[in-house]
Structure 1
Amino acid sequence: MLKKEPSFKNREDQVPAPKSLAPPKSLPNKSKRKPIPELKTLTFPVTGTHSYSISMDAFNYSPDPEMEIYFLSHFHADHYGGISKKWCYERVFESVDDFKDESMYRPLIYCSKTTGNLLTLKFGIDPRFIESLEFDVLYRVMRFDSMSPAFEKVSEMDIEGIYVTMMEANHCPGSGIFLFESKSTMASSKKYLHCGDFRVNKQMIQHKSLERFTLPNSTDVLDKVYLDTTYLSFQRRFPKQDLVCSEAAQLFHDLCQGNKPGLMTECFGLGRQSRITEFGSKSSKPKKKFLILVGKYIIGKERLAIAISKKINCPIYVSNAKSRGNHAEVVDACEIEYFKDHIIKNDLGDDSSDCIIHLVSMEVVEALENVSNYFKHNKYHEHFERCIALRPTGWSHAYDESTGFRFEQFESTDPINTSAENLNNGLSQICETCFNDTPFSYQIPIDAKKAFNKGQSKRNDLRIYSFPYSEHSSYRELTYFVLFLNIDQIIPTVNQDKCPKIMENHIVYWNIIKALRAGSRPTPKTNSMTYDKLPCLSIDPHIREKFQQLTIDNF
C-alpha cells in the first residue's frame, strides 16, 4: 500500500512518536552489500607491514570485521545513509540472545553531540553505541600498543596511536571537519584532514589546530585532505554566506519599514495597498504584514532564518508540513542557543511582531503553487497580508558566458592545455576571483524573473525568491582553503566518480598557483610534478606577482 503523501497543513496529529530505544527483535539477514570503498576509509600505518583503518560516513556497506570505528561528519542523509537501529547490533552481536549482555555494548559511531542526539531521536540508536566529541578538543581514539579503540580526551599526543580533533564545519548544526593524526615509531606518522561537508571561512583556515599547516610559514604538511567538492566549478562563485543572510534580512526590514519607495511594488506589483484586505477579513484583528517562509532540510539553513529574525525582531515557527518527521523536535535536538528564546509554538506569531518566520520543508518553497497551497490550506490568508518564500541554495547562482569567462578551461575532461596563452588566461581568471569577492544585493533575486516565479502576476500576495545561500564552499572559498594550507594530496569526495578529469584539472591549477606563490621558499613537502613542470611554463610575470601578493586578508 502506498504511503499517504504528507500534506501542506500544519497539524500536531501528523507528528510521529519518538523512536524507541528498545533493541530490535531480529538481526538483518546477511546481504550482498558492497564493502566499504577506499574513499571512505582512512588507513594509518602501525608498523612496516601492519596498518589500522577507520571509516568516515560509511554506513551503507556490508559489515567489516576489521572496522571498529565509524566516524559520522554530520546528520545529512547522503552521509548517514544506511544507519538503522539494526545497523549497530549486527556489528556487535552474533545473536539476539546476546542483547542482554551489557558488557558487549561499545561505541561504534563517533560524532558531535548534536549528531548523536539526532541519531537517537530519528533512528532510536542506543547512546551506548555513540561516542560524542566536543569541538576543538584533542582525543585519542585508539592505541597501537593494544590495537584497540581507546577513546580518551588528552592534552597531547603522548603515546603511539591515532588522534583526532573535530572543528566546526560551518555547514549544518553539529557538522565537523576532522584532523586525524597518527603517532608511530615503527612506521610513518600520518596527518589527514577530512572535510565532510563544509563552508570555508577565514576563521577555519586560521584555526589553531591548522596553524602549523598554514602557508607561507607552515612547519608541517597534511598528507591527505578529503575535500568537499560539491561546488568545485568555476561557475559556482556565489557570495559569502554572511552577505546573503544580511541582504535577506535587509529586504524584510525595508519592506516592513516602508523606507524604500517602490520596493513593495517591485515585489508584489501594482495591487492593493497595505491593510486594505483587513476590512474583509473574518478575524477581528488586523492582518499581520508578512508570513516569511524559509526552506530547510531536516537540519540546515537555520542561519538565514536567524539573520532575518534578528533584524526585524520576529519569532520563528517550525513547520511539519510536507514532512513525515517532527521538525520541531529535531530543532530542539540541535540545541541552537538563539532558538531557545525565539521559537514559538503558535504558527500565527505573537503580539511582539507584525511578521513571523516559518521554517518549512524545501518542498514547500520549490514552486509558487506549493507556497500557495501552504498559504491556503492553513488559512494563513485570513491572518497575513502577504507571504514571501525564500528558497536558499547555491545552485541559484552561477556565472554564464556573457561575463567573458571561459569555463571550458576548467570544466573540460581533457588535460589542461599548458600553452602560454591558455595557461595565463586560466590563471588570470582565478587571480581575479581571488582578489574580487562576488557582490550581492537583495535586488538581484527580485529582478531575476526565474522559473520559480512563473505565474506571479496572477497574485499580488505571494512571492518566491531564490537566494544564493549555501552551506557548501564556493569555488573561491575552496581556492583559498587549498592555497593557504600545505597539502600533499587532495582527494575529492563529491562528484569524483562523475567527472574525475575535471577535478584533476582544478587541482593542477591550484598546485601551479601554490608553486608560483612559494617561489624559492622551502616547504616541508611539495607536489613534485607541479614544481618540476613549472620552470618550463611561460607564466605572465604580472600574474606571478599578483599571486605572491595574495594574503588571507584578501579573503
Structure 2
Amino acid sequence: MASYKETEAWKEADLAEDRSFRPTRAPGSRRKAPFYKVLQGMPIAVDAFRYGTIPGVTAYFLTHAHSDHYTNLASNWKSGPIYCSGDTASLMIHMLSVDPKWVHPLPMDVPTIVPDSGGVTVTLIEANHCPGSCLFLFEGPQTVHAGDSAFKSPFVGSGKTFRYLHCGDFRASPYHVMHPAVRGKQIDHVYLDTTYLDPKYTFPPQPLVISACAELARRIVSGEWIGAPDTNGKRNSTMDAWVIPPDKADDIIMKQPKDRMLVVVGICADCILLAQLFLAIAQALNTKIYCNAHKAAILRCQSDTELHALLTEDPSDAGVHVVPLNMIVSDKLKAYVQRFKGTYSRVVGFRPTGWTYTPPSGSDLSPSILSIISRGQSRSFTHADLRPMQKSTFAVQMYGVPYSEHSSFFELTCFAMSCDWVKMIATVNVGNERSRAKMAKWVECWEIDRKRNREVIVRPRAADYW
C-alpha cells in the first residue's frame, strides 16, 4: 500500500473505530472493520469479532482468549467458522458458551489449508503470551476484496503468493524468527503487537523475571539470606531483616510452629495470564496452587498436565494462592492472610505488571538500534533486583514485578532485526495519529538498519530470549 493510500486507510480506520458509535439492530447498523483486521486480498479476519459479519470474510481467526481480542463473541455467534488453537477453543466453549459447531481447533506448527479461502494455508506458532495463544502465518494468493475498507489491493487474481504473519499479542523470542515456518522466508505483512513500542519499556526478559521471582519466594519461605554482603561485609537490612536467618530458624520455628509464609500472586481479570509465573513459584516451593473455582475451571481448559497436578481446592493445602491483582496491597493482604490464621501467619505478594515499570533516570529515549540491542543484552535480572514495595513489613511483604507477556521495546527491536519483512502494521495503540507516527518512526529506523545490514540476526543469549 502506497504511503498516501496508507494514510487514507488509517483515517478510514479512525472513523471505523469511533467510540461514540453505537450499533443497533437496524439493517446495516454495524461497526465497520478497519483495514488491519482483515488480511489484504484474503477472506480472512483476525481478532475481529466486534465487527459482526464482515463482508467477504469466510474465516474468522482468534489469536488467544483475552477479552479485548474476542469482544462480542458469544453464544449467539453465527457469522462464520472460528479457527484457533486447541486450548483457546476449549476456553471459548467453556467461558463464552460458543456453539462448538463454529469452533475449529487447528494443530500447532503444521501448515493447514483454510477452507473457502482460495488456497490459503495457515501455520500456528506458539506466541509466548498466555496458554493457547498463537501467531498465525498465512501463505497464499490474493483472491478477494474482503472487508469494509475502500482501499483495494491491485494483486487480487494475480496468483502471486503472499505471506502474512499475524502476531496477535506475543512476547517475541528467538523461537519465533527461527521457527521453520518463518526462517528464510520473506514476510509481506507483519501485523505487530505494538503494546510496548516505546523505548521507555525496557523491562527484563520474561524467563529471567520468572526465575527471579521463584528464587526470591524460595529464599523467603526457607529463611535464607536474600542478598549477598556488600564490599564492607554488610547485608541489605531492608530486605534481610524480614527473613529468618538459617542459624536462628530452628529456635524461632520451635517457638512459633505456625509461622508459615503464604505466597500470593496477583493476576488481572484475564486469569489465564501469568500461569508460567505462579507455576514456577509453586514448583520452587514444592507446593500446591489455590485459586477460586471459576479461575480453576478456566485453568483446567489448558492442556498443561503439570499445572493441573498442582491445582487444589483446599487453600490450606497450597503455599501459593492466585488472587486478583488489586489484592496486592498491604491492608488487603493482611486481611487475606488472617483468613488462614493458624495455618499461615505471614504473606508475600507478587504484583506483576509491565505498566508500572519506569526507566532509570537519565535513560536515553532516542537510542540507536545498535545501542538498543547492546544495552538490552547487557542487562541481567535476579532475585536481588526485586525490591519490596512501600508499606511492606515483616508480616506482609510485597514486590512489584516488571513482568509482561507482551514484547518489550528491546524484544520488538530484536524481532524486527532478525526476520525478513516488507511491511510492519501496528495493531495496538493505533487510536490516534500522534501515537501511530511515533511508532512509525521506530519501524522506519528498523527498516533503515536492516537495509544497511542485510544479514543482521541478533544473537540470542538463550533459546527463549535475546
Verify same fold: TM over 0.5: yes
Which digits, 9 at most, give the CA deviation of each residue in 1:337-363, with x for residues without a partner?
A: 21122112210116xxxxx11122222
- Which residue does the alignment assign to 1:543? none
Residues 305 and 270 (structure 1), Cα distance of their counterparts in 2 relative to 1, 3 Å cut? closer
- Which residue does the alignment assign to 2:452? 516
Residues 122 and 334 (structure 1), Cα distance of their counterparts in 2 relative to 1, 3 Å cut? same
Counterpart among 62, 84, 105 of residue 72 in structure 1: 62
Which digits, 9 at most, give the CA deviation of each residue in 1:481-537, with x for residues without a partner?
A: 11111100000111122301110111111112112212xx7xxxxxxxxxxxxxxxx
Secondary structure of the 2:341 match is: helix
Which digits, 9 at most, give the CA deviation of each residue in 1:226-277, with x for residues without a partner?
A: 0001111112111111111111111122223333277896348569996999
Asked whether 1:372 is paired with 2:334, we answer yes
Native 8 Å contact 1:427 1:509 kept in 2: yes
Counterpart among 19, 22, 44 of residue 54 in structure 1: 44
Q: Which amino acid aligns with 1:176?
A: C
- Which residue does the alignment assign to 2:417? 483
Native 8 Å contact 1:319 1:358 kept in 2: no
Q: Which amino acid aligns with 2:173?
A: N
Native 8 Å contact 1:58 1:80 kept in 2: yes
Asked whether 1:469 is paired with 2:403, we answer yes
Query: What is the root-mean-square deviation of aligned Cα atoms in Å?
Result: 2.8
Native 8 Å contact 1:268 1:461 kept in 2: no
CA drift of 1:176 comes to 0.4
**Structure 2: how far apart are the matches of 1:114 and 1:224?**
26
CA drift of 1:443 comes to 2.5
Counterpart among 140, 162, 179 of residue 120 in structure 2: 162
- Which residue does the alignment assign to 1:531? none
Q: Which amino acid aligns with 1:108?
A: P
**Structure 1: how far apart are the matches of 2:396 and 2:240?**
8
Residues 333 and 431 (structure 1), Cα distance of their counterparts in 2 relative to 1, 3 Å cut? closer
- Which residue does the alignment assign to 1:394? 354
- Which residue does the alignment assign to 1:187? 159
Identity over aligned pairs, percent: 28
Instruction: Name the larger-Rg structure.
Output: 1
Written as runs of structure 1 = structure 2, the 5 A alignment for 1:342-353 is 342-349=310-317
**Structure 2: how far apart are the matches of 1:171 and 1:511?**
25
Residues 549 and 385 (structure 1), Cα distance of their counterparts in 2 relative to 1, 3 Å cut? same
Native 8 Å contact 2:288 2:320 kept in 1: yes
Of the structure 1 ranges 182-191 and 168-177, higher mean CA displacement relative to structure 2 is found in 182-191
Native 8 Å contact 1:74 1:176 kept in 2: yes
Asked whether 1:234 is paired with 2:206, we answer no
Written as runs of structure 1 = structure 2, the 5 A alignment for 1:118-517 is 118-142=91-115, 148=116, 161-183=119-141, 186-213=158-185, 221-260=186-225, 266-267=238-239, 269=241, 286-287=257-258, 289-296=260-267, 297-319=270-292, 326-349=294-317, 356-365=319-328, 367-376=329-338, 379-403=339-363, 405=364, 407=365, 409=366, 426-433=368-375, 436-446=377-387, 453-456=389-392, 459-498=393-432, 499-517=435-453
Secondary structure of the 1:251 match is: helix
Native 8 Å contact 2:216 2:226 kept in 1: no
**Structure 1: how far apart are the matches of 2:424 and 2:258?**
55
CA drift of 1:80 comes to 0.7
Residues 110 and 431 (structure 1), Cα distance of their counterparts in 2 relative to 1, 3 Å cut? closer
Structure 2, gaps ≥5 residues long: 1-23, 143-156, 228-234
Which digits, 9 at most, give the CA deviation of each residue in 1:290-337, with x for residues without a partner?
A: 1111122321101111111222211111236xxxxx111001111212
- Which residue does the alignment assign to 1:82? 72
**Structure 2: how far apart are the matches of 1:68 and 1:240?**
38
Residues 428 and 179 (structure 1), Cα distance of their counterparts in 2 relative to 1, 3 Å cut? closer
CA drift of 1:33 comes to 3.1
CA drift of 1:441 comes to 2.3
Secondary structure of the 2:160 match is: coil
Residues 223 and 164 (structure 1), Cα distance of their counterparts in 2 relative to 1, 3 Å cut? same
CA drift of 1:55 comes to 0.5
**Structure 1: how far apart are the matches of 2:444 and 2:450?**
10
- Which residue does the alignment assign to 1:156? none
**Structure 2: how far apart are the matches of 1:402 and 1:39?**
36
**Structure 1: how far apart are the matches of 2:96 and 2:52?**
19
Residues 360 and 275 (structure 1), Cα distance of their counterparts in 2 relative to 1, 3 Å cut? farther
Residues 69 and 298 (structure 1), Cα distance of their counterparts in 2 relative to 1, 3 Å cut? same
CA drift of 1:480 comes to 1.2
CA drift of 1:279 comes to 9.4
Secondary structure of the 1:299 match is: coil
Native 8 Å contact 1:394 1:469 kept in 2: yes
Q: Which amino acid aligns with 1:361?
A: P
Which digits, 9 at most, give the CA deviation of each residue in 1:14-38, with x for residues without a partner?
A: xxxxxxxxxxxxxx93473311111
CA drift of 1:429 comes to 2.9
Native 8 Å contact 1:387 1:463 kept in 2: yes
Query: Please, what TM-score do these two structures have when normalized by structure 1?
Result: 0.68
Secondary structure of the 1:464 match is: strand
Secondary structure of the 1:480 match is: helix
Secondary structure of the 2:453 match is: helix
CA drift of 1:113 comes to 1.1
**Structure 1: how far apart are the matches of 2:93 and 2:102?**
10
Give the count of matched residue pairs: 411
**Structure 2: how far apart are the matches of 1:70 and 1:270?**
52
Native 8 Å contact 1:496 1:503 kept in 2: no
**Structure 2: how far apart are the matches of 1:301 and 1:477?**
19
Secondary structure of the 1:495 match is: coil
Q: Which amino acid aligns with 2:36?
A: L
